[in-house]
Structure formats: C-alpha cells, structure tokens
Amino acid sequence: MPLPVIFLADGDLVEVAYQCGSPPQLGEFIIHYYTVGSHGTGCDLATALATLSSAAAPAIVALLSDQAGYAGTLGNIIGPGARSTQLGSGSGAGPGTAGSSLLPTQVCGIVQKLTDRAGQAHRGRMYVPFPDAGDCLASGDPSGGYQARLVTLAGIVLTATFCQRSVGNDCLLTPVIWHRNMPPSVLGIEYITGSAAEGRWATQRSRGAFGATNRNP
C-alpha cells in the first residue's frame, strides 16, 4: 500500500526523531520544526524528512562509534490540528565513523538549545547517542574534537532548513522548542536562536545495557 502524501502548511508543528541504533538498543534525539514561508503547494512530509536526514547524516555518523549506526529520520505533524501519519526516511543512513570502542550505551553527548529568553524554562537539550571511547578524555570528559563535532551537528539540525518538493513548491522548517505542558493546538513554541555543546557527558538510562530493550530502527 503506498504511503500517503502529506503536505506541510505554514503553521504546522513537525516532530522529527533522528534515529541511531546499537543493537539491541535504539537512541534518538527529537527536534521540533515550525513550518513557515511556503510557496505553491508547499513541501511534503516525506521529502522534508529525506532532506533533513541527508543533511544531518554526515555529522551524525562522525559522532557515533562504528558499533552503532544512523538509521534516518522518523516524523509527523503533531499540531495545531490532528496528528498526521508518521513517515520515515533512511537517507544518508550508515555506520558510525568515530572509532571502534563504544562507550556504555547509556552515555551521550549534550547540546543545549537556546532561545532569546533567559532561564531553564526557555532552553532545551539534545542527547546525542552512542559516542566512542576514543572521544573520552582521561578526565572522563568529552574531547575537544567531539565537542567540535557536536557544534557541527547542531549547526545543521538546529538551523532553518529549506525543503523543496519541486520548483516553486517548498517551505522552510524552523527549529523550535515546544513546551509540552501546552497542547499542540496552542503551539507553545519558542524559536531556537543558538546552541552550545556541553563539556560533559549525560546518561540516558533507557539506552543502557541493563534497561529494557528499546525498539531498534
């Protein structure tokens, strides 16, 4: 059965999961995008997911151990109306290239999402999975090279992306922080205006070897 063609309209809030796997575990980071600047019929969701995936893939695999891999994007429209069907793209999928000694699977890099307002309520975090032990200093902190690669990734996925279905039919996906305590119909969002790579590791217990097995892409 063919997948539906879902067109993006100005004002749509799109939830995109960038999915990585280190069998049997799944690790993903989620970014929300607000649709603006549409022309013609706009872009469709499948094309947008492929555009986002192919743009981010080189930066993602550069952060992953070769015992992990990037699987692609999974996304859907979550507001302001009813949720759409979830679609995916494997564009750019491939194994990690950072090294051959995976850190414990619950360890992840951190990128702060910043807005033009101060305070924790107006920030977010992106937890990048499956780093390599070669990117961990003797002090236990991420290496400078790893942090630089986080900055590169953030510069791609946290920047507005032009998505084009065909000439004259396009839109811009602008990264935002969605405040989950507000319903999608209200669209409690703030535009992401910057980012920062943190010089420490985080842990996500759900990705650990002793946690329940997550769905692997």
- The answer on pLDDT for 217 being more than 60 is no
Query: What pLDDT does residue 188 have?
Result: 85
State the pTM of this model: 0.92
Tens of pLDDT along 49-92? 999 999 999 999 999 999 999 999 999 999 888 899 999 999 99
Residue 182, pLDDT above cutoff 90: no
pLDDT at 1 over 70: no
Averaged pLDDT for residues 182-206: 84
96 near 70, Cβ under 8 Å?
yes
pLDDT of 184 > 60? The answer is: no
Above 60 in pLDDT, residue 172? Answer: yes
CB atoms within 10 A of CB 216: 14
What pLDDT, in 10s, does the model give residues 23-57?
A: 889 999 999 999 999 999 999 999 999 999 999 99
Q: What is the pLDDT of residues 115-131, one digit of tens each?
A: 988 887 788 999 999 99
Residue 123's Cβ-count burial label (10 Å; 0-12, 13-18, 19+) is middle
The tens digit of pLDDT for each residue in 92-121 reads 999 999 999 999 999 999 999 999 888 877
Domain limits of the chain? 13-207
